[in-house]
């Protein structure tokens, strides 16, 4: 549904790694078509690196097997293949994520919509080969006819969902990575590990302190498609962070720029000036989904809704004079140079 553009010139910003590699050790690998990284402060006792790494890989493999749209035999893929409107009992994890996605959809009045995948695919930003072609309007309208988060129905008593339109296709790429980050964090918490940073494809959660007994320092990338550099540094402790942007994943046709972020209400790429948005929240899953929704809403609506909800938000917007940053008071307290 979106590509995360958060820079993770993580931890080694300023002095966070100055004590040497033995102060923090990293467990890393591939998952969900991207990379993951789990950084742990090594002075914590009873840390078995091999067991932790194996358990984390198992957790991520399970989430992927549950929520991937790329694995044809995943639980979600099998649901998408069901062209019926009958009730389907699903796993606890899948139910929780789809239900939370529905909550975000309601809060944002449809700016976040896990049924928008077919439209994303038509515009060439899905799993099919990238065509860089503008889809025919009739194809867009046909795909749009089978979208809409309200077409997913819930029965909490049996952990079941139903698609009122059998052709509805569910894509959790705008929320699943955040859920996976939270699940790993919960595992680490249960194992009494208090100081860590978990990151998957740019979505992250920071707990406790880094090796210098300071808040974890994270860089937000400038909205520049030509280079990677840090715009701002935030200091996180017991906080999650998600960033979404449209300045790298796009195509141009006859002088018009088409973003990978699709507005569910129009079925077309966004055309406003918001280039990047960063959200802070205790839940990575919540921040992940809101970052996606805010990219659809644009700068002004994002700040209005974030202030209404009490959500810490930071935006970078395109202007005639370059890029303009903006953040609310909830976000300001986390800036390293506030």
Q: What is the pLDDT of residues 193-207, one digit of tens each?
A: 999 999 999 999 999
Query: How far is Cα 282 from Cα 319, in angstroms, rounded to an integer?
Result: 31
The dihedral formed by the CA atoms of 57, 60, 61 and 67, expressed in degrees to the nearest 10: 180
pLDDT tens readout for residues 59-117 = 999 999 999 999 999 999 999 999 889 999 999 999 999 999 999 999 999 999 999 99
**Of the segments 43-47, 258-262, 283-287, which one has the largest average pLDDT value?**
283-287
For residue 324, list its beta bridge partners: 317
Which range marks the domain in which residue 71 is found? 66-163
The predicted model gives 228-255 an average pLDDT of 84
Residue 131 in any domain: the answer is yes
pTM: 0.91
Residue 32 in any domain: the answer is no
The predicted model gives 308-329 an average pLDDT of 95
Q: Is the dihedral of CA 109, 111, 112, 113 positive or negative?
A: positive
Residue 93 in any domain: the answer is yes
Residue 135 in any domain: the answer is yes
> How many domains are contained in the chain?
1
Side-chain half-sphere of 69: how many Cα atoms within 13 Å? 20
Mean pLDDT of the residues in the chain: 89
Residue 259 in any domain: the answer is no
Residue 53 in any domain: the answer is no
Query: How far is Cα 289 from Cα 281, in angstroms, rounded to an integer?
Result: 11
Residue 113 in any domain: the answer is yes
CATH at 130: 1.10.3980.10
């Amino acid at each position: 549904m979106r590509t995360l553009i958060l820079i993770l010139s993580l931890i080694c910003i300023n002095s966070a790694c100055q004590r040497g590699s033995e102060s923090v050790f990293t467990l890393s690998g591939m998952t969900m078509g991207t990379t993951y990284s789990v950084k742990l402060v090594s002075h914590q006792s009873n840390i078995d690196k091999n067991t932790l790494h194996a358990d984390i890989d198992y957790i991520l493999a399970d989430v992927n097997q549950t929520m991937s749209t790329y694995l044809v035999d995943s639980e979600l893929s099998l649901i998408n293949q069901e062209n019926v409107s009958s009730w389907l009992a699903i796993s606890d994890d899948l139910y929780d994520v789809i239900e939370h996605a529905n909550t975000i959809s309601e809060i944002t009045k449809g700016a976040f919509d896990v049924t928008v995948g077919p439209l994303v695919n038509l515009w060439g930003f899905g799993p099919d080969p990238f065509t860089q072609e503008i889809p025919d309007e009739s194809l867009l309208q046909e795909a749009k006819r089978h979208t809409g988060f309200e077409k997913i129905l819930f029965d909490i008593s049996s952990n079941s969902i139903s698609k009122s339109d059998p052709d509805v296709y569910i894509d959790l790429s705008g929320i699943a990575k955040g859920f996976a980050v939270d699940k790993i964090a919960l595992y680490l918490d249960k194992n009494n590990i208090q100081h860590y940073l978990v990151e998957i494809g740019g979505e992250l959660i920071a707990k406790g302190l880094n090796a210098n007994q300071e808040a974890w320092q994270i860089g937000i990338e400038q909205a520049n498609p030509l280079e990677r550099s840090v715009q701002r540094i935030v200091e996180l402790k017991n906080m999650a962070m998600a960033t979404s942007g449209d300045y790298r994943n796009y195509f141009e046709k006859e002088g018009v720029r088409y973003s990978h972020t699709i507005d569910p209400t129009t079925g077309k790429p966004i055309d406003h000036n918001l280039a990047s948005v960063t959200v802070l929240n205790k839940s990575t899953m919540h921040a992940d989904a809101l970052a996606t929704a805010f990219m659809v809403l644009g700068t002004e609506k994002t700040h209005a809704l974030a202030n209404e909800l009490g959500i810490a938000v930071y935006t970078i917007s395109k202007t005639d004079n370059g890029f303009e940053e903006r953040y609310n008071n909830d976000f300001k307290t986390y800036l390293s140079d506030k």
